[in-house]
């Protein structure tokens, strides 16, 4: 029997339409808008000025705190502005605008396709290299990788878990890199194991990607410490806590980090970025993006330079399809709607999904019939219908905290399974944010 | 049979008597001394328990009033000066005159002024919407129009005008408790002094975008041009982050800024309609007709 997590989960339609499309190189844009907030934590501070000449791979933003990261130029050209601009949600973020001239790279970057297997670096050197390359978690949250690879001294990591589940419908970027660049991912994993000083590594891949499982197993065959584990397909298996449970059997306690049970989880995309950063000196300046949707005539996987405007990507697929009603950055379950087409791609963007009116239109809400489908679907063991009730009364933050609203991973299983079309996730998300604020203030007072 | 009933009655009555005696002495022993004036003050307060004073409710406020050495900044916005005077008289403290306030919405991004750029399909909550993205219009500072303020108002004083897509305050009903100010995730509601004859002048915009951007997304936005600052003879207007602010303490309601504002973002409410004095003046200024309908 194949492994999976024990509580909840749903089976949305896969729609992996772009799974057979090879990764194509997306043309370099004329103007790149590079955001300074491409990672979780405090945004980077621009270190270039208007008029500066930059090369691809050059540092243009430096970190401003512990949880922060470097930002590099993805193109070569002249900086035309350092200004505040709307991100994909329309909120102002500092951007460095670069007018592209040619494609000149920094000298130290090895752009050859040769696979370098020897890792002559120590754990500290690896962390330093990853930090300087601005690598962030490419599973979606964009947490700086060097922070995650450097757990607190009193905690001992036991497993490195590489997340190749790609449980969201539509997205195929991880699937493609596992099929096309498995050796690099495996070497990236070995590098991360060395940085973490762990002996065991699991690569979890859902069984709807048989080709990826085959290619990854082959690539990992010469590293006995790495084990590729096929998993039963179920959403949200790519959730950190769900994946740890599926692979190790341990459940991460409420409000704790995975390191509590000795696990560190990284995405396959991150493993690839780590390989490039350590072995090829190449900073993270491009991302693999799936452009798909039922209304899109040709489903594509692109390797795109960071800072390419979304509008440019739409042009590449022949303009916005007529019946497209919503653009989502990420998967249909947890992705964010793109409110601003002038926004540009970030390191951790994995997909641009176009949905039609029929697919996105919310159905009219009716009364809760207490069928408990949401409770059955919740992978965190919460009771969404109850959280909904408590949230709507207003002010019942103690009760919400008792019901562990802060454990919600916002996967959307409750909303997906509700036959009454109650916007459970929308409501829970608001009260979760408020409860977390209250809890944070309380711990600050102590 | 009857003896059972008699025994029951006798035993229960005697138990009841015993407990009442015990409870009497316990109550005497653990009596909480409370100032009787708290009750008196509480009876004078409106009893809305809205929290506008900053306390948990009217009783907590009454307690604070009794304990405080002077009334000072303690103020019940619902009752206003009339109630505070009565309270001061009851407590033998000096009443503090406070200017009555009213909530004003610093945004006039109606559907006509500020067209929608996308359609929000999620749960109608300003807080939830603000957490997801900048909003369904080009302006990321303005009213989201989902009515978080309407939901928290205990006095039915704030409403959404569905047709125009904007929130409006009923100034007759508003007691300036400040619940809406706290509820608004965009911080566009301000408590301002009602002003003489309810007349007041304020900037009805919260956009801190640069002029060109602000004007593109909303035709009545403050573009931070600074004309009002120059026009004001009383130094009441300050310009910060591309947004003008009129200090109500300094404003003398001359309305020079209203005439000067190129986008009509400055509002003068409850003034009589200004009629152009004579056609001789060739200044080309249109008569200011501001209506808070």
For B217-265, list the strands marked E by DSSP: 237-240, 243-246
Residues of chain A where predicted confidence (pLDDT) is lower than 70: none
To the nearest whole Å, the CA of A118 is away from the closest chain B CA by: 44
B277 alpha carbon, distance to own chain's centre:
37
At what angle are helices A123-132 and A182-196 packed, to 10 degrees?
120
Decide if B121 and A360 are in contact by the 8 Å CB cutoff: yes
Q: Can you give the pLDDT at residue B119?
A: 86
pLDDT score for A141: 84
Residue B190 is predicted with a pLDDT of 93
Give the pLDDT band (50/70/90) at residue B281.
very low
Please give the angle made by the CA atoms of A86, A92 and A93, to the nearest 5 degrees: 95
Which residue of chain B has the CA closest to A88?
B133
User: Which is it for strands A45-46 and A59-62: parallel, antiparallel or unpaired?
Assistant: antiparallel
Given this model, what pLDDT does residue B287 score?
A: 47
Q: What proportion of chain B, given as a percentage, has pLDDT over 70?
A: 93
Interface test with A, best of B121, B142, B209 (most A CBs within 10 A): B121
Interface membership of A439 toward B (CB under 8 Å): no
What pLDDT digit, counting tens, does each position of B149-194 carry? 999 998 899 999 888 888 889 988 998 888 899 999 999 999 999 8
Burial of B249 (0-12, 13-18, 19+ CB in 10 A): exposed
Q: Which of A90, A426, A430 sits opposite B140 (nearest CB)?
A: A90
Q: Is the pLDDT of residue B219 over 50?
A: yes
Distances (CA, A) of B10 to A121, A395, B7, B19: 92, 49, 5, 14
User: In this predicted structure, what is the pLDDT of residue B209?
Assistant: 87
Question: Average pLDDT, whole number, for chain B?
Answer: 86
Rounded to an integer, the average pLDDT of B77-85 is 85
> Is B123 at the interface with chain A, CB within 8 A?
yes
Contacts of A361 in chain B (CB under 8 A): 121
Checking if the pLDDT of B229 tops 80, the result is: yes
- Name the token pair of B135: 């909003």
- Contact flag B140-A423 (C-beta cutoff 8 Å): no
Of A339, A345, A335, A155, the C-alpha closest to A262 is: A155
Q: In the prediction, which pLDDT does B293 show?
A: 42
pLDDT at residue B48 greater than cutoff 90: no
Is B291 a residue whose pLDDT tops 60?
no
Degrees to nearest 5, angle at CA B126 with B124 and B130? 120
Distance of residue B127 Cα from the nearest chain A Cα, in angstroms: 7
- The C-alpha of A363 sits at a distance from chain B's nearest C-alpha, in angstroms, of 10
Task: Give the A:B interface size as CB pairs under 8 Å.
Answer: 44
A361 with B121: Cβ contact below 8 A: yes
pLDDT at B278: 57
Chain B touched by A430 (CB under 8 Å): yes
pLDDT number for residue A373:
94
A84 Cβ under 8 Å from any chain B Cβ: no
Query: Cα–Cα distance between B260 and B237 in angstroms, integer?
Result: 13
- Decide: A9 and A245 in contact? Cβ < 8 Å: no
CA distance B136 to chain A (A): 8
Nearest-by-CA chain A residue for B127:
A430
What ipTM was estimated for this complex?
A: 0.81
What are the distances in angstroms from CA A318 to CA A9, A299, A315, A323, A339?
36, 11, 5, 13, 20
User: DSSP characters for A250-311?
Assistant: --PPTT--GGGGTEEEEEHHHHHHHHHHHHS---S-EEEEEEE-TT-SS-EEEEEETT-BHH
Q: Which of A90, A394, A433 sits opposite B134 (nearest CB)?
A: A90
* A101, A80 contact by CB (below 8 A): no
Asked if omega into B276 is within 30° of 0 (cis), the reply is: no
What residues of B are in contact with residue A84 (Cβ under 8 Å)? none
A392 touches chain B (CB under 8 A): no
Taking residues B210-217, report their average pLDDT. 88
Chain A neighbours among B 130-149 (CB < 8 Å)? 131-135, 140
Model pLDDT, residue A176:
94
pLDDT 10s digits, B111-150: 888 988 888 888 888 988 998 888 888 888 999 988 899 9
Is the Cβ pair A336, B127 closer than 8 Å? no
Q: Rounded to whole angstroms, how far apart are CA atoms B153 and A21?
A: 55
Q: Which of B118, B121, B125 sits opposite A339 (nearest CB)?
A: B118
Distance CA A407, CA A136 (A): 23
Question: Is B26's pLDDT higher than 60?
Answer: yes
Task: Return the residue of A nearest to B152 by Cα.
Answer: A394
At residue B276, the pLDDT reads 62
Chain A, nearest residue to B185 by Cα: A430
Q: What pLDDT was estimated at residue B87? A: 87
Would the CB atoms of B134 and A86 count as touching at under 8 Å? yes
* pLDDT for A328: 92
Residue B33, pLDDT > 50, answer: yes
Measure CB to CB from residue B128 to each of A86, A92, A429 and give the nearest one. Answer: A429
Which parts of B68-219 fold into alpha helices (H)? 80-91, 126-132, 148-152, 179-183, 211-217
Cβ separation B131–A433 shorter than 8 A: yes
What is the pLDDT at residue B239? 93
């Amino acid at each position: 029997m194949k492994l999976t997590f024990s509580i909840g989960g749903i089976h949305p339609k896969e729609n992996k339409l772009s799974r057979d499309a090879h990764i194509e190189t997306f043309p370099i844009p004329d103007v790149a808008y590079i955001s300074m907030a491409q990672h979780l934590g405090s945004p980077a501070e621009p270190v270039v000025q208007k008029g500066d000449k930059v090369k691809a791979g050059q540092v243009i933003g430096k970190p401003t705190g512990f949880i922060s990261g470097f930002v590099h130029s993805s193109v070569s050209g002249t900086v035309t502005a350092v200004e505040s601009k709307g991100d994909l949600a329309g909120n102002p973020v500092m951007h460095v605008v670069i007018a592209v001239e040619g494609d000149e790279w920094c000298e130290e970057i090895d752009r050859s396709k040769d696979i370098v297997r020897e890792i002559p670096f120590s754990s500290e050197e690896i962390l330093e290299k990853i930090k300087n390359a601005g690598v962030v978690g490419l599973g979606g949250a964009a947490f700086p990788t060097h922070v995650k690879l450097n757990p607190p001294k009193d905690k001992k990591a036991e497993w490195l878990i590489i997340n190749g589940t790609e449980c969201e419908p539509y997205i195929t970027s991880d699937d493609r890199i596992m099929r096309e660049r498995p050796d690099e991912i495996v070497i990236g994993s070995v590098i991360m194991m060395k940085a973490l000083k762990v002996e065991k590594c699991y690569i979890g891949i859902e069984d709807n990607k048989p080709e990826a499982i085959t290619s990854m197993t082959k690539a990992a065959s010469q590293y006995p410490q790495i084990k590729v584990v096929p998993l039963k397909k179920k959403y949200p298996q790519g959730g950190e806590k769900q994946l740890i449970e599926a692979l190790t059997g341990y459940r991460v306690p409420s409000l704790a980090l995975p390191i509590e049970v000795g696990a560190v989880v990284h995405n396959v995309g991150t493993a690839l970025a780590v390989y490039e950063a350590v072995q090829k000196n190449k900073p993270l300046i491009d991302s693999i993006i799936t452009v798909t949707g039922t209304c899109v005539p040709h489903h594509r996987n692109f390797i795109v330079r960071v800072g390419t405007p979304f509008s440019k990507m739409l042009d590449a697929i022949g303009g916005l399809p007529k019946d497209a009603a919503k653009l989502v950055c990420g998967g249909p379950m947890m992705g964010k709607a793109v409110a601003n087409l002038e926004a540009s791609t970030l390191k951790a963007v994995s997909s641009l999904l176009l949905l039609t009116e029929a697919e996105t239109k919310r159905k009219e809400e009716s009364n809760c019939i207490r069928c408990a489908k949401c409770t059955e679907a919740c992978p965190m063991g919460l009771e969404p219908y109850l959280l909904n009730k408590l949230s709507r009364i207003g002010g019942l933050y103690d009760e919400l905290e008792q019901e562990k609203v802060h454990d919600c991973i916002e996967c959307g299983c409750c909303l997906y399974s509700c036959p009454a079309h109650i916007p459970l996730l929308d409501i829970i998300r608001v009260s979760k944010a408020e409860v977390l604020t209250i809890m944070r203030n309380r711990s600050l007072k102590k | 049979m009857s003896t059972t009933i008699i025994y029951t009655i006798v035993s229960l009555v005697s138990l009841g008597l015993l407990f009442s005696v015990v409870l009497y002495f316990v109550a005497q022993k653990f009596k909480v001394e409370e100032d009787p004036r708290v009750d008196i003050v509480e009876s004078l307060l409106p009893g809305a328990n809205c929290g506008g004073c900053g306390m948990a409710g009217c009783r907590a406020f009454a307690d604070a009033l009794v304990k405080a050495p002077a009334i000072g900044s303690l103020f019940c916005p619902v009752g206003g000066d009339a109630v505070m005077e009565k309270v001061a008289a009851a407590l033998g403290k000096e009443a503090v005159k406070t200017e009555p306030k009213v909530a004003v919405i610093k945004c006039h991004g109606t559907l006509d002024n500020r067209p929608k750029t996308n359609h929000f399909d999620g749960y109608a909550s300003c807080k939830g919407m603000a957490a997801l993205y900048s909003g369904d219009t080009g302006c990321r500072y303005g009213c989201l129009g989902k009515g978080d303020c309407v939901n928290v108002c205990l006095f039915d004083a704030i409403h959404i005008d569905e047709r125009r897509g904007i929130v409006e305050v009923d100034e007759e009903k508003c007691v300036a408790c400040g619940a809406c100010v706290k509820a608004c995730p965009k911080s566009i509601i301000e408590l301002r002094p009602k002003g003489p004859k309810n007349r007041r002048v304020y900037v009805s915009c919260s956009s801190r975008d640069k002029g060109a951007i602000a004007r593109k997304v909303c035709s009545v936005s403050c573009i931070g041009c600074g004309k009002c600052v120059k026009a004001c003879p009383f130094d009441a207007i300050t310009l910060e982050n591309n947004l003008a602010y009129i200090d109500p303490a300094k404003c003398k309601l001359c309305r020079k800024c209203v005439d000067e504002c190129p986008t009509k973002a400055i509002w003068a409410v409850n003034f009589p309609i200004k009629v152009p004095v004579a056609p001789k003046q060739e200044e080309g200024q249109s008569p200011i007709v501001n209506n808070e309908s």
